[in-house]
């Protein structure tokens, strides 16, 4: 089937999470919406829906899409759905509030002391002083 080039790719990062919405402009309703997880990319492509030389019937416009790890350059668009013609669709891109990833555990960011343990300052232990966390050196 003929297609409209290489398609569209949108990459979502922890600092710029992306939502892609495809809108049918005839009705102003969305026909596809994807909240792309951080670290993933969404690629989609439209067939133009023209008839082939051996068929007199017009083919419907088809959107093929796939989601992969960000940076992947090769893959198959294994999902398909019908879509409005090019003159009747719009791609809306919105950015969600960052960050997307959960905050890291602060005890994992502390450097180890020379004796092989890590001291977390500001936390109180059973005796009211600094609590010593026993963690082997990395």
pLDDT in tens, the chain (138 residues): 334 457 899 999 999 999 999 999 999 999 999 999 999 999 999 988 665 555 556 678 999 999 998 888 888 899 999 999 999 999 999 999 988 765 566 666 666 665 555 555 544 445 555 555 555 555
Q: Which two tokens stand for residue 97?
A: 């509030």
pLDDT value at residue 107: 67
Query: How far is 31 from 22, CA to CA, in rounded Å?
Result: 6
CA distances (Å), origin 91, targets 20, 23, 34:
7, 6, 12
* Inter-residue contact 81 to 62 (CB < 8 Å): yes
pLDDT value at residue 52: 57
């Amino acid at each position: 089937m003929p297609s409209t080039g290489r398609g569209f790719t949108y990459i979502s990062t922890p600092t710029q999470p992306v939502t892609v919405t495809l809108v049918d402009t005839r009705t102003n309703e969305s026909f596809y919406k994807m909240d792309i997880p951080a670290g993933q990319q969404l690629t989609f492509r439209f067939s133009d829906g023209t008839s082939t030389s051996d068929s007199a019937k017009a083919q419907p416009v088809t959107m093929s899409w796939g989601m992969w790890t960000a940076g992947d350059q090769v893959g198959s668009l294994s999902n398909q759905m019908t879509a409005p013609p090019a003159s009747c669709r719009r791609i809306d891109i919105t950015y969600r509030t960052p960050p997307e990833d959960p905050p890291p555990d602060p005890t994992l960011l502390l450097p180890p002391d020379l004796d092989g343990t890590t001291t977390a300052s500001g936390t109180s232990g059973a005796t009211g002083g600094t609590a010593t966390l026993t963690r082997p050196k990395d």
